[in-house]
């Protein structure tokens, strides 16, 4: 996954507005669309023509205004492939009105999925779940979770059971049972236990809450609002954001494996202090920066 923008409210010379891209097996999952997101996506070689799902957390300009330019760029590039757009219910109306006023049409279909708590999407490879965030407007946090994978395949066990190499092996590796000489062979006879997929959580703008702690349980990577340092907690409370130490405490309590802080106020010229504060609570913390890419490893069985 790649951070395309990591600033809060306004861009800076080194930080664009919020956007995070997950790349998985040729598909892009884009979380939030700050202004100019199509340019930062191109800079990071994020393809705009392939399978895509867009998750919008809330209708504040720094998180959604870039979607118009992104869609226009895609249309000018003659995109035809449909995409899925998830966001607060009012997002669909906002897009209809602004597109009409700006007189531009789309060359591709958009399937709009209104956000609500619970599972919103199920695809062959992953699912998307949402929970309500605690912000100044209706807002949602998201989890992108891969489907589980079959266990490790053991060829010697397959041969011992008389399963010929080829399509039958492939089916067993995919978790399907096969018939050999009138006998049924099931995946558990030739493979190890199923392996979990990867799980990424994205908070958007929010105050921390017990509900979000449960929602983000055991994320392999948690990307969390860290607009303010601990010293500016009064501002976080007033504007319904999270401090770096609050984000770290939530990651620890959720049993997350890694925490990426993002959405930094422009008041901070460096994030080193915020990371130091967070690491005292949750050591496996990094500060996001524009262009930073992180590989998310498969969890252990």
Residues 62, 225, 232, 290: which is the catalytic one? Answer: 62
Please provide the distance, in angstroms rounded to a whole number, between the alpha carbons at the two ends of the chain.
22
The region, left, alpha or beta by phi > 0 then psi within -120 to 50, assigned to residue 36 is left
Within the chain, what is the greatest distance between any pair of CA atoms?
Answer: 72
Q: Cβ–Cβ contacts within 10 Å for residue 210, how many?
A: 9
Nearest to 57 by CA among 138, 119, 129, 136: 138
Contact in structure between 129 and 118 (CB atoms under 8 Å): yes
Extended strands (E) in 133-196:
140-146, 178-180, 183-185
Tally of CB atoms within 10 A around 94: 15
**Strand blocks (E) in 49-182:** 52-55, 83-87, 110-114, 118-122, 126-132, 140-146, 178-180
List beta partners, residue 111: 84
Whether 234 is catalytic? no
User: Catalytic positions, please?
Assistant: 62
């Amino acid at each position: 996954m790649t951070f395309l923008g990591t600033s809060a409210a306004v861009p800076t010379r080194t930080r664009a507005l919020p956007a995070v891209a997950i790349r998985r097996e040729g598909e892009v999952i884009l979380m939030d669309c700050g202004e100019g997101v199509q340019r930062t996506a191109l800079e990071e070689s994020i393809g705009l023509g392939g399978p895509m799902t867009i998750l919008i957390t809330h209708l504040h300009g720094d998180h959604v205004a870039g979607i118009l330019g992104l869609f226009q760029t895609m249309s000018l590039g003659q995109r035809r492939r449909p995409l899925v757009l998830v966001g607060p219910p009012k997002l669909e109306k906002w897009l209809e009105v602004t597109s009409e006023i700006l007189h531009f049409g789309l060359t591709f279909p958009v399937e709009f999925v209104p956000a609500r708590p619970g599972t919103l999407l199920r695809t062959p490879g992953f699912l998307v779940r949402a929970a309500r965030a605690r912000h100044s407007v209706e807002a949602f946090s998201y989890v992108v979770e891969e489907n589980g994978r079959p266990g490790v395949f053991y060829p010697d066990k397959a041969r011992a059971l008389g399963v010929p190499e080829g399509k039958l092996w492939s089916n067993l590796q995919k978790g399907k049972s096969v018939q050999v000489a009138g006998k049924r062979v099931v995946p558990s006879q030739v493979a190890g236990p199923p392996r979990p997929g990867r799980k990424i959580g994205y908070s958007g703008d929010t105050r921390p809450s017990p509900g979000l702690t449960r929602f983000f349980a055991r994320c392999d990577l948690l990307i969390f609002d860290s607009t303010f340092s601990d010293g500016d907690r009064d501002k976080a409370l007033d504007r319904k954001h999270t401090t770096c130490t609050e984000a770290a405490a939530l990651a620890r309590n959720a049993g997350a494996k890694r925490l990426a802080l993002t959405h930094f106020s422009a008041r901070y010229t460096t994030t080193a202090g915020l990371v130091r504060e967070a690491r005292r609570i949750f050591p496996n913390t990094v500060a996001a920066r524009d262009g930073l890419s992180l590989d998310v490893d498969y969890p252990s069985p």
